[in-house]
Amino acid sequence: MYRKTWMEIDLDAISENIKTIKAVCGKRLIAVLKADAYGCGDIQVAKTVMEAGASMIAVSSLDEAMMLRHQGYSGELLILGATDPSDIPVLVENGISVTAYSTKWVKGVTSKNCGGLKVHLKVETGMNRIGFKDIDELKKAKGLLMLRGCSLDGIFTHFAKADTDAEMTMKQYERFAQAVKAMDYPFRWIHCDNSDASLSFRDPLSNACRIGIAMYGISAFSHDLKPALGLYTRTFMVKKLAPGEPIGYGSTYVTSGDEIIATAPIGYADGFIRANQGRYVLVDGTPAEVVGRVCMDQVMLKLPEYKSENALVEIFGKNIPIEKMAAELNTIPYEIMCLISGRVTRVYIKNGTRAEEANERLSAKAI
């Protein structure tokens, strides 16, 4: 790492969280590592969660699945989103399971040579995103897939409000249970619980939980999970300004007195979005306001007292929970995590030490 802007990912905390979640839900775990493990680095997180006792990894697309295969992950792997029937050879060759989400998709797949393709049926129960709503249609799809030699590995649904609405979750669960019963099939994988459902909802039917955000210590239902993430940078210029000095593009901030302004190398190209203007971060532990517009690569911070350059800036982490930052930005931790760009070095903590640094830019290969 040359530029001092980094995201810390505590693999020890993730490992502990996986064990805690597994103990609370009492089932096998499917770790959802879509979007490069919510921006944390899919292979590093994959290794950690499998070592900690997860049984399968789920991603959103074949591209993400192949990213894991190319990096050496050879275990169970499920694509939760759309796949194209023309990619069946790649899916079968790489032992990647897919989601059957509509009659049209099933017809597309079964019109090709799909023998050996591993499939999880998706039941629509309240998201209206993807999946079969009609049980008869689902039955027909199951029959067709079996006839054509696909392997029916699982059945699942997804909850829309597990964080806030237990009644709705129960309704969705009941619809799911009905569908599973109607299939009358010994699925190896029956799964419906996302992170918040895994930590708050007891369901007697499923045999695996499908968790993402909770492994990073983030949940509406605390079960002694450990926060695993932090985003940091360091100031590289500090100056004293007289009253009336404009700061940044558009001069949206003007000093009202003698002010100490620090500049730090993080901006919207790192995922530190412009809406952060006016919020507070910590500079060597002291709250400092983001003043002026956030630039692409840099940000200006108003320090309450002089601190020399190279001071540690905490964007979120041990002292500013990512949940607090998300609430202030009117968003959710997922979005903040996923927006942290490839330019930000990922620093992995393992056995209490900085075990590895990963930076897309620095590992780019010659073309």
The answer to whether residue 231 forms part of the interface with ligand PLP (CB under 6 A) is no
Evaluated on CA atoms 332, 334, 335, 337, the torsion sign reads positive
CB of 224 to ligand PLP, least distance (A): 17
Give the E-state strand segments of the chain in sequence order.
5-10, 28-32, 56-59, 77-79, 98-100, 118-122, 151-156, 189-193, 208-211, 229-234, 237-241, 246-247, 253-254, 259-264, 280-283, 286-291, 299-303, 312-316, 345-350, 353-358
Q: Which stretch binds ligand PLP (CB under 6 A): 64-72, 101-109, 113-121, 209-217?
A: 209-217
Catalytic, 142? Answer no
The answer to whether residue 97 forms part of the interface with ligand PLP (CB under 6 A) is no
Beta bridge partners of 233: 5, 313
Sketch the per residue contact string, 20 through 49, with ligand PLP: x for CB under 6 A, - otherwise.
------------x-x---------------
Catalytic, 34? Answer yes
The answer to whether residue 83 forms part of the interface with ligand PLP (CB under 6 A) is no
Q: Which of residues 190 and 213 has its CB atom nearest to ligand PLP in the complex?
A: 213
Q: Which stretch binds ligand PLP (CB under 6 A): 111-119, 207-215, 236-244, 289-297?
A: 207-215
> Residues with Cβ < 8 Å from 145, sequence gap 6 or more?
100, 106, 109, 110, 114, 119, 152
What secondary structure letter does DSSP report for 249?
A: G
154-173: contacts with ligand PLP (CB under 6 A): 158
Structure tokens at 361: 């830019």
Sketch the per residue contact string, 179 through 198, with ligand PLP: x for CB under 6 A, - otherwise.
---------------xx---
CB of 253 to ligand PLP, least distance (A): 36
19, 107, 240, 249: which is the annotated catalytic residue?
249
104-163: contacts with ligand PLP (CB under 6 A): 158
Q: Which residues bind ligand PLP (CB under 6 A)?
A: 32, 34, 80, 158, 194-195, 210-214
